Structure 1
Amino acid sequence: MPIDGPKEDNFFISVSQLNTLAKDLLEGQFPSLWIAGEISNLSKPASGHVYFSLKDELCSVRAVIFKGHALKHGRNLQEGKKIILRAKPSLYAARGEFQIIGDDVKLMGIGEQELLLRQLKEKLKTKGYFNQERKRAIPPFPNRIGLVTSATGSAVRDMLEVLGKRWPMAEIWISPARVQGDAAPSEIAKAIKLLNCASLIENSKIDVMVVGRGGGSSEDLCAFNSEIVADALFESLIPTVSAVGHEDDFTLADLIADLRALTPTEAATRISPNQYEIVEHLKASAEYMHQAASLKIQKFQQHLKLLSTRRCLQKPLDYLNQKSQRFDDTIEKFNRTSSTFLRQKSDKVASFIEKLQSLSPLNILTRGYSITMKAKEFESDKATVIVSAEVLALGDLLCTRLHNGTIISEVKKIEP
């Protein structure tokens, strides 16, 4: 297309002019097209616009849906979904990047990657990887913290900075691993297992482990959706925190870990107490205990002061003499009372004995009476007094009890 302008050899245009011209040409030459592809690198910033890549097996193109249309269609956009996007080709002039600007979306179903991820997610769910009851609490005061991330990325720097400020007394053990690329899943899983092995060594227990990276697109986070990393997290004996740095999407690592943090910085903050807050809490506790002890001492002092006004403490010897005299009086009164009591009881016992003696059969014998029983029954419990001659027979031996002795006799004759 011809360009109107001067014909001199030294004619030139600026980059801005070039990009603007190209943008106008693209937008003027192409109508809106329906373009089929799979969503990747989805981003929904606070501005309300939606940014993503639309790809097929061979190529990809950057796409944007501005806020006005995103309010209607943006909610249906998810990573890995296949869509048909109505869009116009354009150029982002500021960076000279080719892009398409969409204004309508139709869903085609799910993409291959999303289908595989859904199948893996369902498999792990069936095995209990996501059960809430298996999740462990994060220790409030960790002595040793493990980090699984890139050794050179921003994530490890951010976490070390936060931990150094908040809880510098903790030991930090870094198990480095690539967090992006084909080798990332196996390296992350190996790093997790390495920290678990180290934690089994005596005096080397690791209290909590952070596994993550410093953000990225959904495609960049695919290592944290791999089965090998999921298995390593599930089998970890150390409580785990995922810090993948992607607010919109949950990775499998987020679902399996004991705690999910949006960013590595947040993870470091959530696993570490603030040393300054702890110091202030200890100061407040010490002040409270000091006040409580002072109040207790004050109460004891008041009680002692009250006791000191009592006569027993002001003149203890007089008090003891008074109590001793009262004790002697009590003993004397007891002796008098007990003597009278014993004498009364003794007289009553003597009266009872006299009455018993007057009623005794032996006492009756002194008045000329006697008791006769058969001799063979005399010493037995079945002895009976003979009151009739009919119970006797000639030759029976009799035992007659007098008041001063016993007579043994034989029956020679029985007269009616």
Structure 2
Amino acid sequence: MPIDGPKEDNFFISVSQLNTLAKDLLEGQFPSLWIAGEISNLSKPASGHVYFSLKDELCSVRAVIFKGHALKHGRNLQEGKKIILRGKPSLYAARGEFQVIGDDVKLMGIGEQELLLRQLKEKLKAKGYFNQERKRAIPPFPNRIGLVTSATGSAVRDMLEVLGKRWPMAEIWISPARVQGDAAPSEIAKAIKLLNCASLIENSKIDVMVVGRGGGSSEDLCAFNSEIVADALFESLIPTVSAVGHEDDFTLADLIADLRALTPTEAATRISPNQYEIVEHLKASAEYMHQAASLKIQKFQQHLKLLSTRRCLQKPLDYLNQKSQRFDDTIEKFNRTSSTFLRQKSDKVASFIEKLQSLSPLNILTRGYSITMKAKEFESDKATVIVSAEVLALGDLLCTRLHNGTIISEVKKIEP
């Protein structure tokens, strides 16, 4: 069926855009994969990158390992060699070629179980099961401890013995499960979930849970590499401690648990405080507190003794009387000073008044002079002294001010 062309002239993408979209789609949809095949067309240019094809009986795919990873894994790459390549499907956009970008190489010869384990590990890592930020702290003084292990193995006996010696006041809850065999993964996961359910009951909180067994071969430990156990550990509400095998044994459970112990005995030791060490610490702390309190009391006694020798405490009324007498002296001095100050100021004010009076124009009235103004202006601010008859008219009322009293008169006659 023919495909219609774009309806608009600008409805298209370039080849570069197409290849970029395809590259992003490939890299975004596919996780890292382990791919088995035979090397062909091997090329190791001066750049340090390694280019080759990986093929089987039916197909072939181009692959590249860039310099950073090629320095570590390049020695395993030889023409015709069968390998397992870990890489992500991608697209070389410049030529539109499908390829795998590799970052790890393993020689063929490992078993199918090892490959499945590695693939599961990559899957769980992508889901965040191994993230350090999700790890929880183990309570320093657990009241209730859960154990997930075989009920008859040496691991449970070792842990009970250690816990009984170090921290006997803790309750131990055992959720038994087979730790090897086909049924082991489901039993271990069920036991973990059972303890989590029990911990939700009121007054039954479990502070920490140990999941483990004694040492054994890789096949014996495979239950702790199962996805169902990994999920149970990841979903556990109780902080978990893995205690699987000996020092050389490392499982998925070790990566997921909040704390990894090399052996069950070490796990029991790390989750339990030593009661004898705590007792000794409490004794030392009590002794230190006693000594510190004694020194403090002694210091206060010496300080009180020193204070008791001071006169103000021996005769407190003498001190108050001295202060009262000094206060009286201050009041008396203030009264004297203020009286003198007021008297001086009063004399100064009187002198100023006398000077002002001597300069007052009204003062000349005592010598027989008078001041005449028009009567209608006498009480106003605009009143002016009459100094010439020319400003007067017959009938004007005049107000004449004498030293003692005022005369009201009327103009009857004006003479120049």
Q: TM-score, normalised by structure 1?
A: 0.62
Q: Deviations over 1:110-129 (max 9, x none)?
A: 21111000001111111111
Structure-1 separation of matches of 2:376 and 2:76 = 126
**Cα offset for 1:299?**
1.4
> Across the two proteins, how many residue pairs are aligned to each other?
416
Shift of 1:242: 0.4
Match runs of 1:136-147 below 5 Å: 136-147=136-147
Tell me: CA distance 1:265–1:22, structure 2 relative to 1, closer, same or farther (3 Å). Answer: farther
Identify the residue that residue 176 of structure 2 maps to in structure 1: 176
Partner secondary structure for residue 109 of structure 1: coil
Q: Take 1:312 and 1:59, find their aligned partners in 2: how far apart are those partners? A: 107
Structural mapping, 1:14-413, within 5 Å: 108-351=108-351
Cα distance change of structure 1 residues 379 and 197 upon mapping to structure 2, 3 Å threshold: farther
- Farther-moved stretch of structure 1 (340-349 vs 25-34): 25-34
Q: Bigger CA drift: 374-383 or 268-277?
A: 374-383
Other structure's SS at 1:38 match: strand
1:349 to 1:108, Cα distance in 2 relative to 1, 3 A:
same
Deviates more, 1:78-87 or 1:312-321: 78-87
- Cα separation, partners in 2 of 1:405 and 1:5, compared to 1, 3 Å: closer
Separation of aligned partners in 2, 1:386 and 1:246 = 133
Distance 1:321-1:122 versus aligned 2 partners, 3 A rule:
same
> Aligned in 2, Cα 1:304/1:28: closer, same or farther, shift over 3 Å?
closer
Q: 1:134 to 1:3 in 2, by over 3 A?
A: closer
User: 2:89 & 2:408 partners in 1: Cα distance?
Assistant: 155
What is the deviation of 1:307?
2.0
What is the deviation of 1:273?
Answer: 0.8
CA contact (8 A) 1:41 1:219 kept: no
Describe the shift of the 1:169–1:368 C-alpha distance in structure 2 as closer, same or farther (beyond 3 A).
farther
1:237 positional shift: 1.9
Question: Structure 1 residues 84, 134: closer, same or farther in 2, change over 3 A?
Answer: closer
Relative to structure 1, the CA distance from residue 162 to residue 193 in structure 2 (aligned partners, 3 Å threshold; closer, same or farther) is: same
How has the CA–CA distance of structure 1 residues 222 and 321 changed in structure 2, closer, same or farther, with 3 Å as cutoff?
same
For the Cα contact (< 8 Å) 1:394–1:413, is it kept in 2? yes
Aligned in 2, Cα 1:253/1:91: closer, same or farther, shift over 3 Å? same
Which stretch of structure 1 is more off in the superposition, 404-413 or 151-160? 404-413
Alignment deviations for residues 208-262 of structure 1 (CA, whole Å, 9 cap, x no partner): 1111112222111111111111111112222111011231131001011111001
Distance of aligned partners of 1:371 and 1:65 in 2 relative to their CA distance in 1, 3 Å threshold: closer
State the distance in 1 between where 2:9 and 2:179 align: 52
Deviates more, 1:297-306 or 1:354-363: 354-363
Name the stretch that deviates more: 186-195 or 348-357.
348-357
Q: CA deviation at 1:320?
A: 3.8
Return the alpha-carbon distance in structure 2 between the equivalents of residues 15 and 159 of structure 1. 66
- Equivalent position SS for 1:140: coil
Q: Do the aligned partners of residues 47 and 125 (structure 1) sit closer, same or farther apart at CA in structure 2, a change above 3 Å counting?
A: closer
> In structure 2, the residue corresponding to 1:125 is in which secondary structure?
helix
After superposition, the Cα gap between the structure-2 partners of 1:278 and 1:378, relative to the gap in structure 1 and judged at 3 Å, is farther
Tell me how far apart the structure 1 counterparts of residues 332 and 8 of structure 2 sit (CA, whole Å).
Answer: 146
Q: 1:318 to 1:175 in 2, by over 3 A?
A: same
Write out per-residue CA displacement over residues 364-415 of structure 1, whole angstroms, 9 at most, x where no aligned residue. Answer: 9999999999999999999999999999999999999999999999999999
Task: Check conservation: 2:34, 2:119, Cα contact below 8 A.
Answer: no
Cα deviation, 1:87-116, whole Å, max 9, x if unaligned, reads 999999999999999999996432111100
Distance in 1, matches of 2:383 and 2:318, equals: 75
Kindly provide the CA deviation profile for residues 331-373 of structure 1, in whole angstroms up to 9, marking residues without a partner as x. 3333323333343344445555556666778879999999999
SS in 2 for 1:234: helix
Deviations 1:102-157 (A, max 9, x none): 99999643211110000011111111111112211111111222211122222222
What is the CA–CA distance in structure 2 between the aligned matches of 1:397 and 1:227, rounded to whole Å?
131
Following superposition, the deviation at residue 67 of structure 1 comes to 36
What fraction of aligned residue pairs are identical, expressed as a percent?
Answer: 99
Q: Is the 8 A contact 1:53 1:60 kept in 2?
A: yes
Q: 1:413 to 1:101 in 2, by over 3 A?
A: closer
Is 1:80–1:114's contact at 8 Å kept on the other side of the alignment?
no
SS at match of 2:11: coil
Question: What is the rounded CA distance, in whole Å, between the counterparts of 2:379 and 2:304 in structure 1?
Answer: 80
- TM superposition shift of 1:175: 2.0
C-alpha distance in structure 1 between counterparts of 2:403 and 2:10, whole Å: 175
**Which one is further off, 327-336 or 300-309?**
327-336
